[in-house]
Structure 1
């Protein structure tokens, strides 16, 4: 245990240092200058401070006040050395955070048990603090495990939709990372961007409710078939809504709104501009760009320049202009995502 002793009288310092050494398991750091002791305490964490009241520069009460202001917790025990008749001083010292007192002149029979008791108090405080840290770490690990299972469930749900759709897993990864990229470029915060990364893959989960003859049709859909296809946002929303998970709830919003268009010509709600949830506006850019630039068995991939021109042309019509601009500002990251997640046919 580390004991800091602050007293401007060398004889008192020597005496208290020897008495601390007799307690056992202790190391004393002695200071004749209170300001030097404060500087040391700022860089170290003593287990007990013994401080004299009458000192030049700053007295013991001011020293205690500064120590209490310096520490981020008040479990550091402090013993003040005063004359027995200085009652007003003791009251003030208690007010500013002293825990106990030693009388002048120092009595070795009083000194040792008081120091020992203060160090036992310190040990109890440290044990409580360590226990709190361990509990916090256990909670963090349990929460991380819950989030990991949640992410696994979300991934499996997204893959279930993939198996019924000619799109690839790489498309899901790319559009999810594009969505997170746009969220960051819009300064929505890292937590929001991470939730977008996890929620975006659920955008087409409603296709689980679309018949295969429509979903897998190679040619253009008829008007009746398109009407059925346009039900998948609402189906996805119904699958995901009311979840206890904030990520799944975000997935529900994305599923319902990612086919809306900024000018109000999209579906299913024909929402306009800011009436479309931001999550849907972000995913619309990410999903369309990747669909255009990806090769499929039934189509050739567009060039990047042609896809960029399509996004720019659709600003304010199909797409939210701020989302398009945010996507293009992150173009270097877009290219990195494309390189990282490549289709395997």
Structure 2
């Protein structure tokens, strides 16, 4: 069984990223074969998969298997910066190019020169920056903000996304020419629910790992706990599995994890979908009545911090409806991506 771990796994305990990948399931073994075939090339790569499936781990493995493995691997989250700072972060800036630019700064492309630049959440990149990124990929040079002098670069770009970029192109949220420039070597990471053969090997790895971190004696999973793990849908993928094992080890007795020790969240819709033959006006009216009734029920319970509770539910459900895309969540709610990110960090979604 092949295994890939993140070099800073123990620093990512509060992250939604996966910290380990195993390749036991047949689908995972096919994935590993594809990675090993594509990695030695110099082609840009696009990794697609849900949050928590291990996209950064795959990007690091692609880098490790390439001729660039002794050069830098630089990971950048495209959704982590305010739109006004994206250009400076990616391409660098010159002293005095804007207020607060007190010195020259090397951008991420220059920092990764000779190696691999991993652009996570590429779908969150503003359209204005997509144009400039496309030019960099075509010309193999960057121009720092506030400068007119191009700087040659030798960088392999590996991008990742948890949204369907083809749909984003159709919706006008992602440039078609950039999509095809990145869509050369594609790697699709199946969610954990589609590779059940990896669930128990991953669980066993996390049991051993967290026993060591916590200073516990070696623990194990009961047969019933293993069955519960195999039956779960894993919407949060590998990171959800790790968190479930971590919690179970904290509460289990006699170093044996039982089904009751596993807290597994079920993400199911609480209301049925409307009939296709129901008039649109009737659907809208019914939904307004349903929302008003739900709010009235909350008012009657007289919950503390009710506004914060409603806001938290609103942002969490919108974020999941948009499959973890902050930009689309902002457009859905009619607010900026920066506000979305701040709220998601506040409620623990990031």
Q: Which has the larger radius of gyration?
A: 1
TM-score (norm 1): 0.25
Q: Which has the higher contact order (CA 8 A, sep 6+)?
A: 2
TM-score (normalised: structure 2): 0.25
